[in-house]
Amino acid sequence: MDIELDYIDLGERYRTLQLYSIEVSEADQGRVGVLSVKWSELELLAETTDTSLVKVKKKFGKTTVKGAGC
């Protein structure tokens, strides 16, 4: 949530700069424009990775418990 608020704030700052005709490079504008998309892609990758590791986590947990002698 903090990251989402940060990139929304950053986008608003760039919009304000444009509003007052303060020059900003197109490259910077483009980078700010894709932040939300990149963040969504990263969240999806994290969720997919977490889901794919469920079996591994369970196996690791069982191995850890056996190794601890519990």
- Residue 24 contacts residue 14 (beta carbons within 8 Å): yes
Q: Encoding tokens for residue 15? A: 């919009």
| Residue boundaries of the structural domains of the chain | 2-67
- pLDDT score recorded for residue 70: 60
- The structure's pTM equals 0.66
pLDDT in tens, 14-27: 999 999 999 999 99
CB 34 within 8 A of CB 11: no
How far is the C-alpha of 28 from the C-alpha of 37, rounded, in Å?
Answer: 15
The whole-number pLDDT of residue 63 equals 84
Rounded-to-integer distance, Cα 9 and Cα 14, Å: 9
Q: What is the pLDDT of residue 20?
A: 95
pLDDT tens across 30-55, in order?
999 899 999 999 999 999 999 999 98
Q: Is the pLDDT of residue 6 over 90?
A: yes
